[in-house]
Amino acid sequence: MDIERLLKRAAKIADRSDAHVKVAFLLIDKRGRVVASGYNHFSIGRGRLGHPMVHAEAHALNKIRKPSTNLWGLLYRRHGKLITPCESCQKLLTAYGIKTVIHTAGAL
């Protein structure tokens, strides 16, 4: 598995975010292939109904059809400190059978 390749891909995906804190989440199979990815973004235009944020984990999980115990996750923050899934995202990850999540952060 090529971690450097995964980190570069995560950085490109995080850059799609329209949020101040850019986050990407990759779902990766045991062979090291990305099966789904997501990034944090506003679900509706800024300023409407507050700021309903779609988290990167939920965005990626929405792209797979069913839970799997054969996947792991890579949570990437574009700049700054490491982050962990919020309580809601952690519940989603658990429900989908994702037991391992690697937390990473890009350089400033």
pLDDT digit string (tens) for the chain, length 108 residues: 688 999 999 999 999 999 999 999 999 999 999 999 999 999 876 555 566 899 999 999 999 988 888 999 999 999 888 999 999 999 999 999 999 999 998 864
Check residue 80 and give its pLDDT.
87
Q: Which CATH architecture has domain 3-105?
A: 3-Layer(aba) Sandwich (3.40)
pLDDT of residue 51: 63
Q: Which residue has the tokens 């990407």?
A: 24
- Check residue 43 and give its pLDDT: 81
Q: Which two tokens stand for residue 81?
A: 């400190």
Stretch (H or E) spanning 5: helix 3-14
- In the Cβ-directed half-sphere of 15, how many Cα atoms lie within 13 Å? 7
